[in-house]
Amino acid sequence: MAWVHTSGGCEVARRVQGHAKSNVCVKCERSAATSRARRARRNDGPRARDTTNRSDATSGVGLPMTERGIAARPKQSLGQNFLVDPNMIRQITAAFVDAVEQAEEVCQDGDSKQSTGRNVVEIGPGFAALSQLLVRRFPEMLGLEIDQRAVAHLNEFLPEFNVVRQDVLETDWKALASERAVGANSGKLYVIGNLPYNIISQILFSLIESCEAVDFAMLMMQLEVAQRVAAPKNSKAYGILSVMCQLYTEPKILFQVPPSVFRPKPDVTSAMVILKFRDKCNPRLDQVDPNHLRQVVRESFQQRRKQLRNSLRLTMSQVGVTELSERWASRRPQELDPEEFIDLTYDLFGPVSPDGDTNMTGVWRTKSNKERSRKEDAAPAL
């Protein structure tokens, strides 16, 4: 008689009462006996014991792990693709330590006092794949993690790591820097994160809005997004993200990261990117209203194939301009340097009014996780 595994699909084998042992599930074509054996191996078999030690191979700290190399069932809604490959984890942490040392210009002879990492912030440490190693070098570093299960786990098994439960999209980077970066060489934050891909642009914009508080950020992102961030003008990937990131930072793709180093495996290749925030952003940025700059960049790229004289029609009518100047009229947005968007904004709107606000807070970022889920809760089911 045909039967199927029930409860949670074929991974959780629960035999339907009365069916013979040799029966094969009509869905996964695996017998009940095979499923039982797999379950036994997973719970207390030798493979499970082996993989419990996998965190030792990764770090030597030995946080408890499941067979999949992670400490709890990943939540897709929080973009939880955990790093499990020891070599990749070492490569990322080594690159971060190098970047900190470069930022602090630590002398090769070791004369300089090493930072204890009070200004190091990890976004979304999860189950500490990176922090296990980083906290040894930066004992005062801070983790911002939204998932209470991860925070509780780290408090128990990695108590030396200062991690707080927080939505990174609600973080006030300037306040954090004045609290934690005082006395650090640059007086700014060093940020690292393997982040949920669905909020990466929001995080980038929130860091940009607080650019004076951040020295550099080393972030994992989808390769495609990394290429957009670092794209030169006239390339296909050049767009809003490229303009904004390059106006405020010098982005550089460090290396690619294959799906195989994560659990669960994402569908896409990722990349580690470092964004070094500019000490001196273009002084003309202070002469335009950031809301106007945002409007011009967005509108220009909304119809990227069109000449600016056509794509900027709305803004032109808003400011009462009938013709764009020769400098801009027949150009397309991908032909403009990031800095030229400041000039274009200035030409359209004029200087920011003396009582105008050049503070960027809230200009680019839109929704926090809380707002998003509130909105999702309120939305009617489709």
Ligand X SMILES: C[S@@+](CC[C@H](N)C(=O)[O-])C[C@H]1O[C@@H](n2cnc3c(N)ncnc32)[C@H](O)[C@@H]1O
Task: Give the nearer residue to ligand X in terms of CB position, either 99 or 169.
Answer: 169
Task: Give the nearer residue to ligand X in terms of CB position, either 164 or 319.
Answer: 164
Q: Is 286 marked as a binding-site residue?
A: no
Cα–Cα distance measured from residue 62 to residue 276, given in angstroms and rounded to the nearest whole number:
33
Cα–Cα distance measured from residue 312 to residue 328, given in angstroms and rounded to the nearest whole number:
10
79: number of Cβ within 10 Å: 17
Helices 200-209, 240-248: crossing angle, 10 deg rounding? 30
Q: Is 359 marked as a binding-site residue?
A: no
List 63, 117, 121, 145, residue binding ligand X (CB under 6 A): 145
Q: Binding marks (x or -) toward ligand X, 68..107, rule CB under 6 A?
A: ----------xxxxxx------------------------
Q: Is residue 264 reached through a cis peptide bond, with omega within 30 degrees of 0 on the bond before it?
A: yes
List 86, 196, 239, 251, residue binding ligand X (CB under 6 A): 196
Interaction of residue 129 with ligand X, rule CB under 6 A: yes
Residue nearest to ligand X (CB): 124
Interaction of residue 202 with ligand X, rule CB under 6 A: no
Stretch that binds ligand X, among 125-133, 270-278, 347-355, 371-379 (CB under 6 A): 125-133
Stretch that binds ligand X, among 27-35, 54-62, 190-198, 280-288 (CB under 6 A): 190-198
Q: Is 335 marked as a binding-site residue?
A: no
Interaction of residue 173 with ligand X, rule CB under 6 A: no
Cα–Cα distance measured from residue 232 to residue 10, given in angstroms and rounded to the nearest whole number:
48
Q: Is 194 marked as a binding-site residue?
A: yes
Query: What are the two backbone dihedrals, phi and then psi, of residue 40, each rounded to the nearest 5 degrees?
Result: -65, -45
Task: Give the nearer residue to ligand X in terms of CB position, either 168 or 247.
Answer: 168
The beta-carbon contacts of 156-165 under 8 Å, at least 24 apart in sequence, are: 157/61, 157/63, 157/64, 158/61, 158/63, 158/128, 158/131, 158/132, 160/135, 161/125, 161/128, 161/131, 161/135, 163/125, 163/131
Nearest distance from C-beta of residue 273 to ligand X, angstroms: 15
List 69, 86, 117, 124, residue binding ligand X (CB under 6 A): 124
List 168, 257, 285, 288, residue binding ligand X (CB under 6 A): 168
Number of residues that bind ligand X (CB under 6 A): 25
Stretch that binds ligand X, among 32-40, 188-196, 279-287, 324-332 (CB under 6 A): 188-196
Interaction of residue 289 with ligand X, rule CB under 6 A: no
Q: Is 145 marked as a binding-site residue?
A: yes
Interaction of residue 206 with ligand X, rule CB under 6 A: no
294: number of Cβ within 10 Å: 18
List 86, 117, 126, 251, residue binding ligand X (CB under 6 A): 126
Interaction of residue 146 with ligand X, rule CB under 6 A: yes
Burial of residue 340 (number of CB atoms within 10 Å: 0-12, 13-18, 19+): middle
Binding-site positions? 81, 83, 124, 145, 167, 194
Residues forming the site for ligand X (CB under 6 A):
78-83, 123-126, 129-130, 144-147, 150, 167-169, 194-196, 199, 369
